């Protein structure tokens, strides 16, 4: 009996030691995360329920849900959310479709494929503010390259950045130029990882390229497409710099995405408390939608 | 006795040594707070990155000729982050910066934190006798004062002025503008200034380049029109006072200017309008005077020559010509460990001697009447100084500046948003002004 108890105690001790060992490795990372992630989030939450004293730059008095009420009653907040939704609905599917299509094309054997792949990386490494500025010059109706080129076909001049509808299209184009290569990189890796024997079997059965794409490649790639969508969604929902550099949120409010709006309210209007409330609302919305997308991605994984 | 005598001798020697040491130390005591060769003091400044490096490399060495033991470090910060960073720093327990370079509307925001030195009181003992406060033009000096307290000195003065291309005016057969030109006359001339100068069958030169995009400086154009007709943005109780026929007409004039601007001008701001003018594509430009050198003189940045470019106050309304103030002022943090050295830097740079050096060497616009009245070293500065002096007087008379309130930036942002909506056709001038007024009332409540 005693030996059984000793053995049990020994096992528990070993388990505890094991747990302690694991936490010893985890602790530095957890502490770092706590400092760099949790602290700013909790501080933002604290400010969102307070009045921020600009004299001391400290939260000054609990105001309950007042800041949230102010935000919810502000038409401009909903307008910015609408603008963000338009941008996401236009940009994300475009980038995913383009990215996977380009990856499929450059996956085929052809000369110069390596150079094209390398060139694709360039937009990703250009600083977004620089990219926005360069595109602003390219699209300028007076001396921009874009209008010069379409002018050769007797078209234009097009006011890319001055027309509210076109300005949003322009932001989507710039963002797509910047982020499609990222999707191409992931898609290329996914396509290369597809089992060759399945395609060889399809070839033996006389399947054409469309059949192989529609009924073999796409189902096999679906989990990866879903995962890429979630990753891009998390990046796109934070979009701010391209809009700031290319259009400044204008004309009017046409391209004032939610993050640009929060930035303007916080750092230009110095409404830090209300901006914190906006940030928390956006964080909650993003978490809910990300959760839904992850659920969808898991279902697709199970289905295919 | 012997020993006493010896002791007296020793005491006498000690006293003599102490006296000599005191005499030697006297200048150092007089310069207390300004450092010594053995123990220099450090002054740290936060400034707009647009000119921080120029100051660090050119202005600081000049300052050090006079104050060799004050080490000055200038940190350049992008304009959009400068106010928030300055506020964060100055309100901290131990601020990093001794000197803050504040844009025109920021003094109330910084001052309300209670963290700035009152220069005429707290720094009075360090102020040189020949530092002439009355020599400053009232408008630039007022940029760094709030509620009757002088918190700063003007260091880089600027005014919104009217630039015009003489060649394009001649080609259009339109008389060159004078300070008496009214907005109605200007709008009547504008269609003639849209012209086909190269015979290509379509316009290749337009009337106007200025701010139209969503930017906090864009509303300054119609604000100036409103001010030159006697209107103000806020009344004495800090309530919006611009939803009036004059206000609506002023914004409508700004909107109408787009018709005579180059294609795509609705998204033009500082860079685009400047570029269009420098390339000879627009006949007039409402822009900050400080760009004159790069626009008319410096061949590396412009296609125009000084004789081609005219500069004057903006067109007149019923009360007189227009201008809009944009002054960078230097203020000192109350928690500075070296306030005397920090003030010495500001005092030197804004003194008659320092301002002349600054204007002649770096081309920075002066705020002092004596500097503006003196003959500048470069001939191109002569018409610029004349326009600047007129603009200071116009701005002072019509109170042509952004709102003086701790929430001035929020007010200007509301105006920028609604002005952009009106210019892009998403709202009428009246609807945009009403929306801006409602927002500003909420902000200032």
What are the chain A neighbours of B213 within 8 Å (beta carbons)? 247-248, 250-251
CATH number reported for the structural domain that contains residue B432 in this entry: 3.40.190.10
Is residue B183 domain-shared with residue B315, that is, in the same domain? yes
Q: Cβ contact (<8 Å) for B264 and A140? A: yes
Is residue B196 domain-shared with residue B225, that is, in the same domain? yes
What are the chain B neighbours of A55 within 8 Å (beta carbons)? 91, 112-114
Determine the residue of chain A that is closest to B79 in CA distance.
A268
Residue of B80, B266, B441 to mutate, testing the A interface (most A Cβ within 10 Å of its Cβ): B266
- For residue B4, is it within any domain? no
> How many interface pairs between A and B have CB atoms less than 8 angstroms apart?
112
What are the chain B neighbours of A167 within 8 Å (beta carbons)? 267
Q: Cβ contact (<8 Å) for B413 and A264? A: yes
- For residue B22, is it within any domain? no
Is residue B46 domain-shared with residue B154, that is, in the same domain? yes
Q: Cβ contact (<8 Å) for A251 and B114? A: no
Half-sphere exposure of B177 (CA within 13 A, CB side): 33
pLDDT score for B3:
40
Per DSSP, which regions of B14-120 are E strands?
A: 41-48, 70-77, 99-102
B23-54: pLDDT as tens digits: 444 444 446 789 899 999 999 999 999 999 99
Is residue B311 domain-shared with residue B176, that is, in the same domain? yes
Alpha carbon of B279: minimum distance to chain A alpha carbons (Å): 11
Task: For residues B90 and B79, give the distance between their C-alpha atoms in angstroms, rounded to a whole number.
Answer: 17
Per the DSSP assignment, residues forming a β-bridge with A291 are none
| Chain B residues 245-264 with a CB less than 8 Å from chain A | 262-264
- For residue B280, is it within any domain? yes
Is residue B141 domain-shared with residue B271, that is, in the same domain? no
pLDDT score for B31:
64
Question: Model confidence at A30, in pLDDT bands (50, 70, 90)?
Answer: confident
- What average pLDDT does the segment B109-136 reach? 95
- For residue B35, is it within any domain? no
Is residue B86 domain-shared with residue B189, that is, in the same domain? no
pLDDT mean across residues, chain A:
88
B147-177: pLDDT as tens digits: 999 999 999 999 999 999 999 999 999 999 9
Question: Model confidence at A299, in pLDDT bands (50, 70, 90)?
Answer: confident
**Which among A76, A159, A264 has CB closest to B264?**
A159
**Which among A56, A142, A251 has CB closest to B214?**
A251
Determine the residue of chain B that is closest to A161 in CA distance.
B267
**Which among B88, B92, B267 has CB closest to A162?**
B267
Is residue B275 domain-shared with residue B360, that is, in the same domain? no
Alpha carbon of B409: minimum distance to chain A alpha carbons (Å): 5
Q: Cβ contact (<8 Å) for B87 and A54? A: yes
Is residue B249 domain-shared with residue B223, that is, in the same domain? yes
What are the chain A neighbours of B407 within 8 Å (beta carbons)? 269-270
- For residue B34, is it within any domain? no
Q: Cβ contact (<8 Å) for B263 and A57? A: no
- For residue B1, is it within any domain? no
Question: Model confidence at B7, in pLDDT bands (50, 70, 90)?
Answer: very low
Is residue B118 domain-shared with residue B242, that is, in the same domain? no
Lowest-confidence region among A106-110, A229-233, B251-255, B293-297: A106-110
Domain of B403? 159-325+398-444
B185-213: pLDDT as tens digits: 999 999 999 999 999 888 999 999 999 99
Is residue B188 domain-shared with residue B302, that is, in the same domain? yes
Is residue B60 domain-shared with residue B74, that is, in the same domain? yes
Alpha carbon of A246: minimum distance to chain B alpha carbons (Å): 9
Is residue B300 domain-shared with residue B330, that is, in the same domain? no
- What average pLDDT does the segment A295-302 reach? 84
Q: Cβ contact (<8 Å) for B267 and A167? A: yes
Lowest-confidence region among A245-259, A272-286, B251-265: A245-259
What are the chain B neighbours of A267 within 8 Å (beta carbons)? 80-81, 83-84
The answer, yes or no, to whether residue B228 has pLDDT greater than 70, is: yes
Task: For residues A170 and A165, give the distance between their C-alpha atoms in angstroms, rounded to a whole number.
Answer: 9
Q: Cβ contact (<8 Å) for A269 and B109? A: no
pLDDT score for B23:
46
pLDDT score for B11:
55
Domain count, chain B: 2
């Amino acid at each position: 009996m005693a030996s059984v108890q000793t053995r049990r105690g020994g096992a528990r001790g070993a388990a505890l030691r094991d747990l302690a060992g694991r936490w010893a490795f985890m602790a530095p990372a957890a502490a770092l995360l706590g400092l760099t992630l949790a602290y700013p989030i909790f501080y933002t939450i604290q400010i969102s329920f307070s009045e921020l004293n600009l004299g001391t730059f400290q939260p000054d008095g609990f105001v309950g849900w007042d800041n949230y009420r102010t935000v919810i009653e502000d038409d401009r907040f909903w307008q910015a959310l609408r603008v963000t939704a338009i941008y996401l609905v236009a940009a994300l599917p475009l980038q995913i479709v383009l990215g996977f299509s380009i990856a499929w094309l450059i996956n085929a054997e052809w000369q110069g494929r390596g150079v094209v792949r390398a060139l694709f990386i360039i937009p990703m490494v250009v600083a977004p503010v620089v990219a926005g500025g360069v595109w602003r010059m390219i699209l300028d109706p007076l001396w921009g390259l874009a209008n010069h080129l379409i002018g050769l076909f007797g078209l234009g001049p097009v006011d890319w950045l001055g027309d509210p509808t076109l300005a949003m299209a322009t932001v989507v184009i710039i963002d797509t130029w910047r982020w499609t290569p990222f999707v191409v990189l992931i898609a290329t890796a996914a396509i290369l990882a597809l089992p060759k024997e399945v395609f060889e079997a399809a070839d033996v059965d006389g399947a054409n390229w469309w059949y192989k794409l529609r009924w073999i490649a796409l189902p096999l790639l679906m989990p990866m497409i879903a995962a890429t969508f979630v990753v891009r969604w998390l990046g796109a929902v934070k979009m701010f710099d391209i809009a700031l550099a290319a259009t400044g949120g204008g004309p009017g409010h046409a391209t004032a995405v939610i993050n640009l709006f929060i930035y303007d309210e916080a750092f230009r209007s110095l409404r830090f408390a209300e901006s914190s409330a906006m940030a928390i609302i956006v964080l909650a919305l993003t978490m809910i939608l990300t959760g839904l997308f992850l659920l969808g991605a898991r279902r697709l994984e199970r289905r295919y | 006795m012997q020993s006493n005598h010896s002791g007296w001798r020793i005491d006498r020697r000690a006293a003599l040594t102490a006296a000599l040491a005191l005499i030697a130390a006297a200048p150092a005591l007089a310069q207390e707070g300004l450092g010594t060769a053995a123990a220099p003091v450090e002054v740290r400044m936060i400034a707009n990155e647009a000119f921080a490096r120029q100051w660090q490399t050119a202005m600081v060495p000049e300052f050090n000729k006079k104050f060799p033991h004050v080490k000055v470090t200038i940190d350049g910060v992008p304009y959009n982050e400068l106010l928030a960073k300055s506020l964060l720093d100055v309100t901290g327990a131990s601020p990093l910066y001794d000197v803050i370079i504040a844009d025109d509307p920021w003094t109330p925001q910084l001052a309300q934190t209670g963290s700035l030195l009152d220069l005429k009181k707290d720094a009075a003992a360090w102020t040189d006798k020949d530092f002439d406060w009355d020599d400053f033009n009232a408008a630039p000096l007022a940029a760094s004062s709030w509620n009757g307290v002088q918190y700063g000195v003007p260091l880089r003065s600027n005014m919104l002025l009217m630039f015009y291309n003489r060649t394009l005016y001649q080609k259009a057969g339109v008389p060159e503008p004078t300070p008496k030109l009214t907005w109605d006359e200007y709008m009547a001339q504008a269609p003639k200034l849209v012209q086909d100068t190269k015979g290509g069958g379509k316009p290749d030169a337009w009337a106007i380049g200025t701010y139209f995009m969503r930017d906090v400086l864009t509303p300054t154009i119609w604000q100036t029109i409103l001010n030159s007709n006697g209107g103000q943005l806020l009344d004495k109780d800090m309530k919006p006072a611009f939803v009036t026929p004059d206000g609506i007409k002023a914004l409508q004039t700004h909107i109408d200017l787009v018709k005579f601007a180059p294609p795509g001008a609705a998204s033009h701001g500082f860079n685009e309008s400047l570029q269009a003018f420098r390339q000879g594509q627009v006949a007039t430009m409402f822009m900050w005077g400080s760009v004159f050198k790069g626009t008319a003189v410096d061949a590396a940045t412009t296609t125009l020559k000084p004789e081609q470019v005219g500069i004057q106050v903006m067109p007149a309304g019923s009360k007189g010509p227009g201008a809009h103030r944009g002054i960078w002022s230097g203020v000192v943090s109350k928690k500075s460990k070296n306030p005397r050295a920090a003030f010495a830097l500001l005092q030197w740079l804004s003194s008659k001697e320092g301002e002349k050096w600054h204007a002649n060497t770096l081309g920075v616009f002066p705020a002092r009447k004596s500097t503006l009245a003196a003959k500048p070293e470069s001939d191109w500065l002569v018409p610029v100084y004349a326009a600047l002096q007129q603009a200071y007087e116009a701005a002072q008379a019509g109170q042509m500046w952004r709102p003086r309130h701790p929430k001035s930036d929020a007010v200007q942002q509301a105006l920028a948003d609604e002005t952009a909506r009106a210019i892009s056709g998403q709202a009428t001038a009246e609807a945009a002004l009403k929306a801006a007024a409602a927002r500003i009332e909420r902000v200032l409540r």
